Structure 1
Amino acid sequence: MKRPQPRRQARMRRLASSRQNRRRLEKVNAMYQHYPKFFMQSAMALGLTAVLAGCGQDGDAQAQQSAPASTEQPAAAQSATPAATPATAPAAEASPAVATLGTVSVSQDELQRFLQALPAPQRDAMRKDRGILEQWLRTRLAEKAVIDQAKAQDWDDKAEIRQTIEEAQNQVILRSYLQSVSEPAADYPSEQELQTAYEDNKEQFQVPAMVRISQIFLAAPQEDTQAVARAKKEADGLVKQLRDGKAAFAELAKEHSDEQASAQRGGDNGYLPLAQLVPAMRTVVGKMTTGQISDPIVQPEGIHILQLTDTREPSVRPMDEVKPALRDALRRQRQQEAAQAYVTGMLSAGTVSIDGKVLSATLE
């Protein structure tokens, strides 16, 4: 077999790097979308991740192990005049910079706030995958650089920008203040209230019947009749070996299965709700007993051989397992009710007057 030429090798490395970057970008963007409270960034700023996808690992945004940056100053515009430094008391010692790009940086404190704002699973994932974390740092640096350029051109002095900032500020004040006046008591809910809520909502804690199955998958698209015929013949032979006890399912799965993820585990797919299986497999598995080998199951993408290795009956998650989530849900519900009552009380405290004439003119 011919060895790839140097140019082709370089192209293959670029493609692999691009795919890896795209996967990291998807995770970073997902975090932006799911946690808007921490990331109040514009759609344009988020779009910078697409530009950064092509950046190498050794660009200006790479994390540096240099001396801490004492301040974050705007990037200089072509004709901008530096603002005078106000005469104030000396600021506290700046947090060390984790990453820098020109005159902007991401401090250690900012990174820690970012990580703390994430739920534990996402936070742990970012701690384990430095690539994802470094991609976020690049994105944040790019955002800061763009913001500094815009401010150097007095973009924040535009009337529409000031109005948007004021509206956003008012919303932050509103949410923060309502949260402060509607915070439930520290001892809410009590153990009795938790138990009552658990009993009243047991259907939400139901765990469906589960099956653990292993599979051998032979790829054979249904439009390729010859491939289907070959796969069917091979599948019949494998089923005969298994039923005659001449081979272990895990060994044959590792050797023959075209579904690589499960093949590496000896065909094991773990526990799944029976309803999650495709109809053809669900019907077969529903009639199987533990340890039984199925006949070959023909599907559009190929042929499956299944073994039922274990079953679990429907159950209810125990109180101790759901208590933390249940407590949080009850506190959120109580706080929402209190906030709504507070707003309603504000409306009831005075007389609301609506000028119908002005309203109609506005709607015309």
Structure 2
Amino acid sequence: MNSILKQPTKVRIAAAVLLVAGAAGAVALMRGSPAQSSESKPAPQAAAKPAAAAAPAAGVKPPAVATLGAVQVDRDELQRQLQALPPQARAQLKDNRAGLDQWLRARLAEKALIEQARVQGWQDKPEVKRAFQAAQEQILMQSYLESVSRAPDDYPTEADLASAYERAKPQLAQPALYRVSQIFLPAPLGDAEAVAAARKQAQELVKRAQAPKADFAALARANSQDASSREQGGDIGFLPLAQLTPEMRPAVEQLKTGDVSAPVQSAAGFHILKLADLRPASVTPFDQVKGELRAALRSQRQELAARAYLEGLLNAGTVSIDGAALNAAFEQTAAAPATGGAVASAKP
């Protein structure tokens, strides 16, 4: 049997977190807890912290790290880019000089292209101005909406987390894990001669493996034809029953720790199985998923608060939609020649 990947626990945790987050966030809003708003309670101005390094004097440009003609990537720009990376990615990039050089070259090409566009007045084109305005409005809207819908600092409480964990337990359940070792003898079902020879060899190996003080690992190294587990003494690691072949599952489930099975025939051949260890079924501990639960509940709470805030804006006044003007807009759009959003080509 080829090596089998273990079922990732994080997938189950993420699914459970998403399942309980919606209900927990809705309950929290129904309690009437107001969303924390930067508008209603401006944060006190933080005391200025001493700079890690002296800032360059006014009018003095930071030193260039890379240049291409008149354009450059200076030290400050590089530092901003590096600070935006996760610590692990930043550490990896530090040791990857080729990757860092590639990024610098790409950034220089971008800045050179931007400079060419500016020289040709590309920023003054109506369609570009509209795109600038749309991007600015989107950033402004998202930033402000996030500020007025942010969950309170004390949410979720320990009680909220405990309740969410209880609801998520069915999804956080981990099946029993069986640590199985095997001796595999290939024998395709269609080859009667090979099946007979492999069955005889398997029966002899079972007798040796079930003998007192038998060394199953040594027998596996000497006889197993499964390259992925042979060198490990036949050990295929901890696996749930679902990841074993259908023929193996009943045999493994009936074994006690340390027992060796009778030969198990599959479409590929014969398997002699030993149960080395067993981890009973369990539920992922609360402390292990607490951080993910907290993040998911806060995110869901903010999403619900944002929707409520937008609905409040609509309900604060009377919405009027001119159907005639709406239809006219569609008609004019259909009649106008299609532009496809194309931008005129640059002058050589």
TM over 0.5: yes
Q: How does 1:98-137 map to 2 (within 5 A)?
A: 107-116=78-87, 123=88, 127=91, 133=96, 136-137=99-100
Equivalent in the alignment of 1:354: 321
Given the alignment of the two structures, is residue 90 of structure 1 paired with residue 53 of structure 2, yes or no? no
Which of 139, 143, 148 pairs up with 2:111? 148
Q: 1:185 aligns to what SS in structure 2? A: coil
Residue 152 of structure 2 aligns with an amino acid whose one-letter code is A
Residue 113 of structure 1 aligns with an amino acid whose one-letter code is A
- Determine which structure has greater relative contact order: mean sequence separation of CA pairs < 8 Å that are 6+ residues apart, divided by chain length: 2
Shift of 1:306: 2.4
Shift of 1:284: 2.6
Q: 2:259 aligns to what SS in structure 1? A: coil
Given the alignment of the two structures, is residue 248 of structure 1 paired with residue 215 of structure 2, yes or no? yes
Residues 93 and 143 from structure 1, CA distance in 2 versus in 1: closer, same or farther, beyond 3 angstroms? closer
After superposing the two structures, state which structure 1 stretch, 281-290 or 297-306, moved more.
Answer: 297-306
Whether the 8 Å CA contact 1:298–1:304 is kept in 2: the answer is yes
Whether the 8 Å CA contact 2:94–2:100 is kept in 1: the answer is no
| Distance (whole Å) between structure 2 residues aligned to residue 253 and residue 160 of structure 1 | 71
Q: 2:303 aligns to what SS in structure 1? A: helix
Shift of 1:203: 1.9
Which of 154, 163, 171 pairs up with 1:204? 171
| Distance (whole Å) between structure 1 residues aligned to residue 113 and residue 189 of structure 2 | 57
Q: How does 1:5-24 map to 2 (within 5 A)?
A: none
Taking structure 1 as the reference length, the TM-score comes to 0.58
Cα RMSD over matched residues? 4.0
Which of 289, 312, 324 pairs up with 2:256? 289
Which has the greater radius of gyration?
Answer: 2
Q: Percent of pairs identical after alignment?
A: 42
| Distance (whole Å) between structure 2 residues aligned to residue 134 and residue 303 of structure 1 | 51
Q: 1:310 aligns to what SS in structure 2? A: strand
Residues 235 and 200 from structure 1, CA distance in 2 versus in 1: closer, same or farther, beyond 3 angstroms? same
| Distance (whole Å) between structure 1 residues aligned to residue 129 and residue 252 of structure 2 | 62
Residues 147 and 203 from structure 1, CA distance in 2 versus in 1: closer, same or farther, beyond 3 angstroms? same
1:84-122: per-residue Cα shift (whole Å, max 9, x none)? Answer: xxxx9336746x95xx69676683542342124xxxxxx
| Distance (whole Å) between structure 2 residues aligned to residue 148 and residue 174 of structure 1 | 28
| Distance (whole Å) between structure 2 residues aligned to residue 226 and residue 135 of structure 1 | 57
1:45-83: per-residue Cα shift (whole Å, max 9, x none)? Answer: xxxxxxxxxxxxxxxxxxxxxxxxxxxxxxxxxxxxxxx
Q: How does 1:58-97 map to 2 (within 5 A)?
A: 89-90=58-59, 93=62
Residues 110 and 350 from structure 1, CA distance in 2 versus in 1: closer, same or farther, beyond 3 angstroms? same
Residues 285 and 351 from structure 1, CA distance in 2 versus in 1: closer, same or farther, beyond 3 angstroms? same
Shift of 1:229: 6.4
Q: How does 1:203-352 map to 2 (within 5 A)?
A: 203-218=170-185, 234-245=201-212, 247-300=214-267, 303-352=270-319
| Distance (whole Å) between structure 2 residues aligned to residue 148 and residue 234 of structure 1 | 71
Shift of 1:161: 5.8
Which of 141, 144, 148 pairs up with 1:181? 148
Shift of 1:184: 1.6
Whether the 8 Å CA contact 2:182–2:236 is kept in 1: the answer is yes
Shift of 1:226: 7.1
| Distance (whole Å) between structure 2 residues aligned to residue 301 and residue 139 of structure 1 | 49
Residues 148 and 225 from structure 1, CA distance in 2 versus in 1: closer, same or farther, beyond 3 angstroms? farther
Residue 166 of structure 2 aligns with an amino acid whose one-letter code is E
Shift of 1:291: 1.9
Shift of 1:219: 5.6
Shift of 1:202: 2.4
Shift of 1:315: 2.0
Q: Which runs of 5+ in 1 are unaligned?
A: 1-87, 117-122
Whether the 8 Å CA contact 2:93–2:100 is kept in 1: the answer is no
Residues 358 and 287 from structure 1, CA distance in 2 versus in 1: closer, same or farther, beyond 3 angstroms? farther
Residues 277 and 107 from structure 1, CA distance in 2 versus in 1: closer, same or farther, beyond 3 angstroms? same
The number of equivalent residue pairs is: 266
Taking structure 2 as the reference length, the TM-score comes to 0.60
Shift of 1:329: 2.1
| Distance (whole Å) between structure 2 residues aligned to residue 221 and residue 91 of structure 1 | 77
Residues 360 and 115 from structure 1, CA distance in 2 versus in 1: closer, same or farther, beyond 3 angstroms? same
| Distance (whole Å) between structure 1 residues aligned to residue 109 and residue 303 of structure 2 | 38
Equivalent in the alignment of 2:15: none
Whether the 8 Å CA contact 1:220–1:231 is kept in 2: the answer is yes
Whether the 8 Å CA contact 1:254–1:263 is kept in 2: the answer is yes
Equivalent in the alignment of 2:345: none
Whether the 8 Å CA contact 1:254–1:265 is kept in 2: the answer is yes
Q: Which runs of 5+ in 2 are unaligned?
A: 1-56, 335-348
Residue 78 of structure 2 aligns with an amino acid whose one-letter code is S
Q: 1:265 aligns to what SS in structure 2? A: coil
Equivalent in the alignment of 1:25: none
Whether the 8 Å CA contact 2:257–2:276 is kept in 1: the answer is yes
Equivalent in the alignment of 1:72: none
Equivalent in the alignment of 1:37: none
Which of 155, 160, 166 pairs up with 1:193? 160
Shift of 1:169: 4.3
Q: 1:114 aligns to what SS in structure 2? A: coil
| Distance (whole Å) between structure 2 residues aligned to residue 130 and residue 245 of structure 1 | 56
Q: 2:156 aligns to what SS in structure 1? A: coil
